Every structure is written in C-alpha cells, then in structure tokens.
Structure 1
Amino acid sequence: MKNKIIKNSITAIVFLITIAGLAQNKSSNTVSLDVYYAKIQSEKNPQIIDARGPEEFALNHINGAVNFNLESKDYAQRIAALDKSRPVFTYSIGAGRSVWLADDLLKKGFKEAYSLEGGIANWIGNGKPFYANSKSKLTVAEYNKIIADNKTVLVDIGSRYCAGCKIVKPVLETIRAEYGTNLKIVEIDLEDNPQVIADLKTVKVFPTLILYQNGKIVFKKDGAADLKKDVDVALAH
C-alpha cells in the first residue's frame, strides 16, 4: 500500500512538472494574430494545422488547413509529410493543443512552428478568411436589432467545444433566474453562428461576454471570471 502511494505521488509530480514545462514553452511559440496572419501571407503554400478534433474541423476551419493532433493515430505519418525547413502554423479552439503540437514540432527538428494566440476564436472573431459548412443562424442586422430592442442585453459568445464556455452556462442561468425579463441573454456559439462572430470583429478568445445598456457596451470580458459580480454592479446603477 505504501509503495503504491509513493508510486502515485511520483506520477503526480512528473505530471505537474510536464505541465509546468509546457506552460513555460507557450511564450516561445505562441504569437499574436497579426504576426501569425502576416507570416501565413508571406508563404506561397503555408503549412497550417488545425489541432482540434475532426468534428470541430468539419464545422469550420482556417482556409487551407489540414487536421490532426498529438492523439491522431497517423500522427507520425502526417508529421513526416511536412517540410521541416518551412514554417508550420498550428491553432486550436484556444491555445492548448496547438501549443503542444508546435512545441513537439520544434523538438522534432522543425525550423519554425507557431501557435495562434486565441486560436480559431481569434481568427474568425477578427474577420479572417475561413471555411464553414453552414450559414449563420443569426445575422449582424438581427444581432443589432436585439441590442436596439432591449434595454439591457448580455451576450455570451463561445463554442460547445470550449471548456471555459461550459463554465459560463450555469452562471448565465443564475443571472437569468435573478433578473428575468429585465435582462435579455443572447448565446452565440461558433458552430451555429460563425459569420456573425466574424462580422462583429470583437472576439479574441472564447468565451467573450458583452453587456449592453441602451445600445452601448457597459463591459466586454474575455473569460467568465466575476461575471455575476460585474453584472450585478452594472445593473445596480
């Protein structure tokens, strides 16, 4: 029993060290959207890798991207097909899987590998060209009408594949239960509404929360930290 506890403890320590190492490497390969886009534009046939799952990729992705990640069964073969002498551009829903992939490519001898800060949210959220397999259910005109027709509107922009976005949902339900018809809550997800997210040109990460009062933005939050508190403070005035 004692040996088992020691073994588990060692495993946990190794895991934490590994995660810490990955976190330290983020700054070395994660770049801003402007830098990422400029580098892609400078390449004749850029090597772009979508490190998300195949279901996510099928719904939307950067034009010209191919789809695989560290867990793909044919990972070694896909890596072997790339040109190590040329830059590789990775992205994911945020900057998790893409950072690990870019880091692994550098370890395998690739000259350059860049992960996109903010991932697909940042790319589509700033109107860069992308593929989507369906039209948005909501248009910008309809979005603007909702803002104009309601005194107070809380907008939640995210994705069903985003872990942080899932944390927001119960908070929204608490807010909805407390404020009722005094607050209109609009939930916009990437899978159903990619074009409106692109047209708004205001999203850098998922989730993004925006509170409007009388058609004007009261606050815009990247992430859901203190969301309930911020809504309470805003509406108290």
Structure 2
Amino acid sequence: MKNKKLKFSLTAIVFLVTIAVFSQGQSANLLLDAFYAKVKSQKNPQIIDARGSDEFGLNHIEGAVNFNLKSDDFEKRVIALNPSKPVFIYSIAAYRSGLLAAELGKRGFAEVYILEGGIASWIGGGKPFYSNLKTKLTLAEYNKILSENQYVLVDIGSRYCATCKTVKPILESLRTQYGAKLKIIEIELEESPQVIADLKNVKVFPTLIFYKNEKIVFKKDGLGDLKNDVDTALASK
C-alpha cells in the first residue's frame, strides 16, 4: 500500500513539474549549427539581440531587432512578437539573453532559443552579419604577423565583455616578461569583426590562441590559466 502511495505521489510531482515547465514555454541553449539551422527553417525568424544599442549599432545578426529587459520600450517590443513561434536570442555571453529568455518563458512563449557563445559564436563561425565598420585588421595582415614572428599570442574579444577585461593585465605582464620574443595581437569585435569571421574558429569571448612558427600550440575558449600556459609553451623546445 505504501509503495502504491509513493508511486502515485512521484507521478503527481512529475505531472505538476511538467505542467509548470510547459506553462512557461520551452527554453534551450543551442550551439551555433543547431541555432543557425532553426533560424533558417523560419520564413521570418524572430531574432533578438539582447545587447545594448551601442553594441547593436556596430554589428549584429542580419534581421535581428534590439532590446532587453532594460529597454524603455520593452513592453512594446514583446507585444510585437508572436508567442506561438520560435524566438532566437543572443548577446555577448549568456547573461542578458538568459534573463530575456526567462522573462519570455514566463509570458508563455512556446519556444525560446539562446545562442551559446552569443555574437562571438555567430561571427566567429563565419555566419552572415551586419557591420558598419571597415575591419581594422585583415586576414592577410593577420597571417603576415604570424609569418614574421616565431611566437604569437592572439587575444580575441570585445570591449563589452567583462571577462575580456581581465585578460588585459595578464597581457601587459607577458609583454614585460618576454618583450620582443612574444608578439601579442589584440583583436576586438568592435574594430575587426571580419577577421574574426574569416578565422572561423572563435566560439566565445575571450578566445586566446598561441602560435609557434605559424602553428597553433594551444587555443583557449575563455581565460583559464593563460600565463602558465604561455610560460609552459615558451619554455618548451
């Protein structure tokens, strides 16, 4: 008898949780290829750039609209969406897009998808994007730097990325320690989006790549223990 009651209770809990989840809509983080495929499957995809207006003005996914929870016209923007159709959201990382996705879920939107890695993943994966900038660094110039220097450390990020800012003092320390032996390149999305797209190997900000004789020794998606990794790479023969 006790087992039957326990079984009934567990079934009831699962049922209630299921109702709660579906009443708030479905939300999921998707990697680039899955996100892109779902976007392309829609005739008029609802894409939201959850970054600030200044970020959006520099570059964004083509067809995206720009707003987030702090936008003055937030309610107007939400009303303009169709809650029965998928909504695709991205930002720099997952914070602003995650908050927006959660709010749309509470409002009954059926499907809400967040791009894992945000705009870094989209542009870094070579997908089409809008930019009002002429890239500061070209791929040809990038490759020329690699060919002219034995050791090169590349820092790829955005001025709007909080984690990216923590990389800067480490780079300065490495410059002081190694001098001309180590060439350091800093690439920002806001200055050179096209070279990030041309590299086709950036998934998140920051991305750190260490080269020796034009060959990648290591690539880091995120900061990690950068100084130790560089020290180890330069100490090896």
Structure 1: distance between partners of 2:169 and 2:201: 24
The match for 1:128 is 127
Question: Is the partner of 2:176 in helix, strand or coil?
Answer: helix
Runs of 4+ in 1 over 3 A off after TM superposition: none
- TM-score (normalizing by structure 1): 0.88
Task: Supply the RMSD in Å over aligned alpha carbons.
Answer: 1.2
Residues 1:102 and 2:108 are matched in the alignment: no
Deviations 1:43-62 (A, max 9, x none): 00100000000000000000
What's the CA shift for 1:28? 4.6
Whose Rg is larger?
A: 2
Structure 2: distance between partners of 1:81 and 1:224: 39
Deviations 1:169-212 (A, max 9, x none): 00000001000000000000000000000000010000000000
The match for 2:214 is 215
The match for 2:90 is 91
Conserved? CA contact 1:61–1:131, under 8 Å: yes
Question: Is the partner of 2:224 in helix, strand or coil?
Answer: coil
The match for 1:71 is 70
The match for 1:7 is none
Letter of the 2:167 counterpart:
V
Structure 1: distance between partners of 2:152 and 2:125: 22
Question: Is the partner of 2:202 in helix, strand or coil?
Answer: coil
Conserved? CA contact 1:29–1:99, under 8 Å: no
The match for 2:200 is 201
What's the CA shift for 1:82? 0.4
Residues 1:57 and 2:45 are matched in the alignment: no
Question: Is the partner of 1:128 in helix, strand or coil?
Answer: coil
Structure 2: distance between partners of 1:148 and 1:178: 22
Structure 2: distance between partners of 1:28 and 1:40: 15
What is the percent sequence identity of the aligned residues?
A: 67
Greater Cα offset, 195-204 or 29-38: 29-38
Structure 2: distance between partners of 1:121 and 1:196: 12
Question: Tell me, which stretches of 5 or more residues in structure 2 are unaligned?
Answer: 1-25
Deviations 1:7-59 (A, max 9, x none): xxxxxxxxxxxxxxxxxxxx952111111100000000100000000000000
Q: 1:234 to 1:227 in 2, by over 3 A?
A: same
Conserved? CA contact 2:151–2:181, under 8 Å: yes
The match for 1:21 is none
Letter of the 2:38 counterpart:
K
Structure 2: distance between partners of 1:164 and 1:146: 26
What's the CA shift for 1:154? 0.3
Question: Is the partner of 1:109 in helix, strand or coil?
Answer: coil
Conserved? CA contact 2:27–2:114, under 8 Å: no
Question: Tell me, which stretches of 5 or more residues in structure 1 are unaligned?
Answer: 1-26
Equivalent pairs, count? 212
Question: Is the partner of 1:29 in helix, strand or coil?
Answer: strand
What's the CA shift for 1:107? 1.0
The match for 1:146 is 145
The match for 2:115 is 116
What's the CA shift for 1:106? 1.1
Structure 2: distance between partners of 1:191 and 1:134: 8
